[in-house]
């Protein structure tokens, strides 16, 4: 989770174009002689392409944003190519490998495995490629002889066109025609490296060629810079961005913004290494409703969600035509976009294949985004939250798929917090920290760090040092207490190497909220783990008489001995459980007690049910989580929180 407080500083930094870098790597890998790629994108997608090319036999090294490539001499056979999240890697290399005459199995991450590959497989088969599919792979390419062909692309896709152009290099001469013009990076790079290529309108003819290795200077990525451009427009700021690629099919978003009244100027236009680039100057502008034609959408398909975010700030009805392709991206970006617009307080829906945004121009004061692992949605959510002045992005880290420097470009410097533990995927702590951060105007991240139980102390210590503050949950509370030398039996909060526990504060605050003072009360604690031991210490310090029980009696004996507790009792005022719901806790006798408390809040608890049936006051652990989280946040930031955010937190669970 990334919480934003509206503070940012747009920075003009180098962010090499992802699309150009993919193609530069692929074509350099089959060129004659070595190549150097400067200002390369080093996002995860590009690194996936580089990794696959290495598996095929290319020698590729990287220092910073510079790649050095020695081409494939003899292609490696029977390889498995892991494409990560990158559709570009899978589709373009499908065309390349079809011509190399080797067997290669293509796989990807869960998101990529759901994306359509038939659009590239079918036209390649028409060229003679032998490609098979199976449920556990993207596809498998087998050795074949490609034949000269004339292919019309059925899908508007630069990736499909590029795959066919790459395959065409292994035929005598083939022609690829597209119905709707798409970005030109592949044909630009082919021409720059000396390929036999001719262009007639939207038809591209490529024959067998010897490509020449070269030094390739990559422009900055307009698909990354556009987020800063949009934010500058929405905030009325003047900004300048240098060396930005402006291929005519990559400036669709700028075209739409200009039609809406944006003062965006392209200066110092030049062509370097086959790619047009310029300085982009953004000036404060008064924007009117947007209309994005089908061609605009094709040219700006990745930026449509961002344009929708901008449109949410402009009073009026906005139309984005023919957006169906967005549903087939890394996530369903149509749904993701509409969710962001709605979080901004505006109306978004789809009609006849078009995305419609209706806005009154008044953006909500807090925007929340769930990226669903999609880098573009995470980036849009960030811009939306910065426009609103407050908000959160859940799943923010995926921006590294396309733009590792995205948050640096926005001048966002969050405090770094995290939760470490085992089995924490459903934890509500990130939601709580999001609410607290927005309430107090703190820019921070809060990560969930899942660790195996046998993680080494060295790794644990390195993780503790890498964050500004941490919450610790089972099974690491006692280990972290020892590693940090806290002198406590168990801890749940670490700040600057100092460890403490806020569980006790959470317990007492939760009970106090329900009118319960533990002083002088006889209380039974169920459980001898970290939270249970903290509860014993806290309740004793608050003046209670404490008894302990545990499914493993030997553990209970050790706790009684350590704290001088009696085993037997004649009556109880309350029962507090710090174990997951189980038969042991459910069987504890609660007859005659005034209240039953359980630290559990995510799972149905029979102990609470039994208490409720007897008319006994029953308290789950949600408020304990809230108050201990508030205290942790206070330790990290100095910001105090009472129960003012509790109602909102409850409503979100």
Active site residues: 302
Token pair recorded at residue 594: 């005034």
91 vs 96: CA distance, rounded Å: 9
Residue with tokens 């798409």: 182
What is the biggest distance separating any 2 CA atoms in the chain, rounded to whole angstroms? 95
Helix or strand run (H / E) with residue 2: strand 2-4
Integer angstrom CA distances of residue 398 from 193, 226, 603: 33, 18, 30
Q: Which residues pair with 291 in a beta bridge?
A: 319
Closest by CA position to 344, among listed 334, 326, 358, 327:
358
Integer angstrom CA distances of residue 239 from 222, 224, 268, 389, 525: 14, 15, 16, 19, 61
Q: Are 121 and 164 in contact (CB under 8 A)?
A: no
Token pair recorded at residue 102: 């080797």
53 vs 24: CA distance, rounded Å: 12
Phi, psi at residue 156, to the nearest 5°? -75, 100
Closest by CA position to 48, among listed 413, 402, 341:
402
11 vs 407: CA distance, rounded Å: 10
130-132 β-sheet, strand order: 79-82, 104-107, 139-142, 130-132
Express the helix, strand and coil content of the chain in percent, nearest 5 each. Answer: 40, 25, 40
* CA geometry: angle 349, 355, 360, nearest 5 deg: 65
215-217 β-sheet, strand order: 59-63, 66-70, 35-38, 215-217
Token pair recorded at residue 536: 């014993």
412 vs 302: CA distance, rounded Å: 23
């Amino acid at each position: 989770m990334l919480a934003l407080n509206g503070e940012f500083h747009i920075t003009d930094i180098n962010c090499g174009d992802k699309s150009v870098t993919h193609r530069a790597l692929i074509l350099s890998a089959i060129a004659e002689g070595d190549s150097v790629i400067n200002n390369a994108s080093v996002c995860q997608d590009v690194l996936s392409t580089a990794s696959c090319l290495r598996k095929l036999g290319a020698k590729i090294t990287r220092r910073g944003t510079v790649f050095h490539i020695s081409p494939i001499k003899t292609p490696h056979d029977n390889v498995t190519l892991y494409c990560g999240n990158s559709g570009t890697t899978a589709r373009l290399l499908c065309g390349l490998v079809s011509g190399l005459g080797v067997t290669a199995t293509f796989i990807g991450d869960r998101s990529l495995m759901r994306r359509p590959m038939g659009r590239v497989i079918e036209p390649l088969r028409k060229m003679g490629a032998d490609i098979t599919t199976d449920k556990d792979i993207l596809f498998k390419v087998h050795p074949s002889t490609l034949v000269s062909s004339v292919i019309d692309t059925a899908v508007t896709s630069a990736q499909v066109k590029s795959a066919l152009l790459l395959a065409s290099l292994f035929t005598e001469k083939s022609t690829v025609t597209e119905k709707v013009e798409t970005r030109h990076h592949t044909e630009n790079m082919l021409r720059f490296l000396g390929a036999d290529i001719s262009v007639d309108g939207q038809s591209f003819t490529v024959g067998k060629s010897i490509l020449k290795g070269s030094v390739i200077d990559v422009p900055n990525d307009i698909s990354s810079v556009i987020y800063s451009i949009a934010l500058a427009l929405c905030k009325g700021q003047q900004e300048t961005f240098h060396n930005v690629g402006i291929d005519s099919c990559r400036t669709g978003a700028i075209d739409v913004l200009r039609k809406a009244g944006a003062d965006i100027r392209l200066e110092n236009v030049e062509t370097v290494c086959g790619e047009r680039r310029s300085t982009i100057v953004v000036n404060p502008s008064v924007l009117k409703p947007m209309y994005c034609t089908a061609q605009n959408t094709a040219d700006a398909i990745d930026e449509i969600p961002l344009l929708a975010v901008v449109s949410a700030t402009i009073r009026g009805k906005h139309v984005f035509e023919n957006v169906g392709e967005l549903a087939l991206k890394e996530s369903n970006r149509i749904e993701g976009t509409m969710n962001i617009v709605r979080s901004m307080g505006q109306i978004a829906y789809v009609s006849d294949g078009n995305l419609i945004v209706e806005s009154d121009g008044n953006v909500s004061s807090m925007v929340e985004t769930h990226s669903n692992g999609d880098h573009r949605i995470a980036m849009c959510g960030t811009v939306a939250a910065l426009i609103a002045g407050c908000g959160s992005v859940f799943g923010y880290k995926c921006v590294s798929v396309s733009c590792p420097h995205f948050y640096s470009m926005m001048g966002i410097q969050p405090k770094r917090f995290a939760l470490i533990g085992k089995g924490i995927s459903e934890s509500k702590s990130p939601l709580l920290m999001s609410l607290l951060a927005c309430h107090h105007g703190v820019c921070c991240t809060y990560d969930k760090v899942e660790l195996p139980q046998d993680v080494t102390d060295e790794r644990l210590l390195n993780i503790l040092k890498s964050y500004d503050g941490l919450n610790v949950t089972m099974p690491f509370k006692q280990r972290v207490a020892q590693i940090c030398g806290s002198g406590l039996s168990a801890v749940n909060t670490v700040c600057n190497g100092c460890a403490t526990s806020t569980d006790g504060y959470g317990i007492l605050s939760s009970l106090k909220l329900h009118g319960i003072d533990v002083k002088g009360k006889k209380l039974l604690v169920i459980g001898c783990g970290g939270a249970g031991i903290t509860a014993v210490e806290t309740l004793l310090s608050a003046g209670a008489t404490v008894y302990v029980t545990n499914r493993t009696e030997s553990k209970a004996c050790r706790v009684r001995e350590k704290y001088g507790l009696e085993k037997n009792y004649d009556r109880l005022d309350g029962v507090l459980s710090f174990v997951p719901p189980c038969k042991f806790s459910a069987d504890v006798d609660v007859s005659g007690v005034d209240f039953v408390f359980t630290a559990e809040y995510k799972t149905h608890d029979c102990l609470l049910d039994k208490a409720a049936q007897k008319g006994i006051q029953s308290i789950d652990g949600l408020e304990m989580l809230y108050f201990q989280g508030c205290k942790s946040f206070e330790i990290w930031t100095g910001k105090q929180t009472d129960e003012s955010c509790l109602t909102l937190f409850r409503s979100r669970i």
